Amino acid sequence: MNYTTNLSDKWRITISATFTNEEFLAEYKIQLEEVKRQAKMDGFRPGKAPATLIEQRYKKSIEEETEERLMQRALVAAIKEKNMNPLSRPYVKKVERKLDSLYCEIEFDVFPEKQMSGYDEIKINLKKKEATDDVVESNINIIRNMYAKIEDKEGPLEKQDIAIIDLSVFDAEGKEIEEMKYSDYSVEIADGEILPVFIENLAGKSKGAEFEFKYKYPDDYQDELLKGREVSIKIRVKETKKKILTTDNEEFAKKLGFNSYAEIFEMTKKRIERDFERDFELERDELVINKLIEKNLFEVPETLILMHLEAIINSMKKQNKNEINDDSKLREIYMNYAVWRAKREVILHSIAAQEKIEAHDDEITKQIEEIKKHPDMKVRNMAESEDIREDIARDIVFTKVRDLINSKVIYE
């Protein structure tokens, strides 16, 4: 057997193998004997039928099995010798049987083995947010709003008031967008709650008012249905209400079950600090990976991208976070994110290999023991999964790699 391997820029391996006629015939005889032992033919005891009769009846299937065994032999030899890490199921691209040889081509994607650079010093522009008193007060006021008393209001709407409306949206051709039709919809006239254009048009309106305005949604608007669209919006104000807030801080704190306002202030501040720390770490990690992607240009295998894409979509479905039921549309929306995640995995894996970063048995065992103590039975059952050690080992290694590259970050 002779074989060669060719690696494309997208990490697809093509194995081209040639077997001599002698190699083919040797394997063919082995398969013929295997069929002969198992075949049942009228007039003969099992395994006693003449080879010529067996060959007449099963020649085609014996040849196909022979080809399959030889190709498997080439595949195993190439993977072992080249130390490949296959990602996809091998695909037989071509098979040619000649008088003196058998030629075949097998393709599959492999996990990239890429030499990474540029992680010894990474400059990013990022600053951690501070939980100032104003920020804390603002967060507490959100809770204060939630516990506000709601009363009917006479007169025009003002900031912080609530309007109960019927809303209809029409496209540029005047056709109503059914998905955007709402009745008895509650809208708070407050910054951050609704788009500024709604505040502008609702402020000053009274109960019974009917009006229409045009608006073009931003090209980066999060709702795919409205992104970049120019529409006409019709609104009828059915009711107007106002909020009565508890302005006495100590009374408000006791209403929530706290001993004092200082207690709720301190608790809120600690929560905000945790949130800011988490957001800082997430943004830092994203910026660091983006820098490394810029410094290390490479393609990723289609198989790895699709694996991440399916994981993203399945995760969203489990958490009921997707408002779009069309899987093909979801794949289109999240394809770029899947490519980014695939590149991140390659970067972390490659740096781990370069720096010889590993997960030790005691580290893996410790995490498994923690999983066994989890209050949720479904989580505890994960400790018995066959893949749990491999998954934990990967997470440990990637955490160590992130710690390493984050220690090299310079904040500008």
How confident is the chain (412 residues) per 10-residue block, as mean pLDDT? Answer: 90 94 92 83 73 84 92 92 90 89 94 93 94 94 88 92 94 90 92 87 94 92 85 95 91 92 96 96 96 94 94 82 70 92 96 95 93 89 87 94 95 89
Query: Which of 196, 195, 192 is CA-nearest to residue 145?
Result: 192
pLDDT confidence of residue 321: 59
Q: Phi/psi at 400 (nearest 5 deg)?
A: -65, -40
CATH 1.10.3120.10 segments of the chain: 258-411
Grouping H, G, I as helix, E, B as strand and the rest as coil, residue 300 is coil
pLDDT for the residue numbered 324: 62
Residue 130 pLDDT? 95
Task: Yes or no: say if 138 and 160 are a contact pair by the CB < 8 Å rule.
Answer: no
Q: Which residue has the tokens 């697809």?
A: 12
CATH classification of 258-411, choosing from 3.40.30.10, 1.10.3120.10, 1.10.3720.10, 3.40.50.300? Answer: 1.10.3120.10
Alpha helices in 243-356, H assignment, sequence order: 249-255, 261-295, 302-318, 327-354
Cβ within 8 Å of residue 233, ≥6 positions away:
167, 168, 169, 170, 212, 213, 214, 215
Beta-bridge mates of residue 385: none
CA 39 distance to own-chain centroid: 50
Residue 279, pLDDT score: 96
Q: Assign domain 149-244 to its CATH architecture.
A: Roll (3.10)
Rounded Cα distance, 193 and 382, in Å: 40
Please tell me the distance from the alpha carbon of residue 295 to that of residue 368, in angstroms, as a whole number: 36
Domain at 2-109: CATH architecture: 2-Layer Sandwich (3.30)
CATH 3.10.50.40 domain range(s) in the chain: 149-244
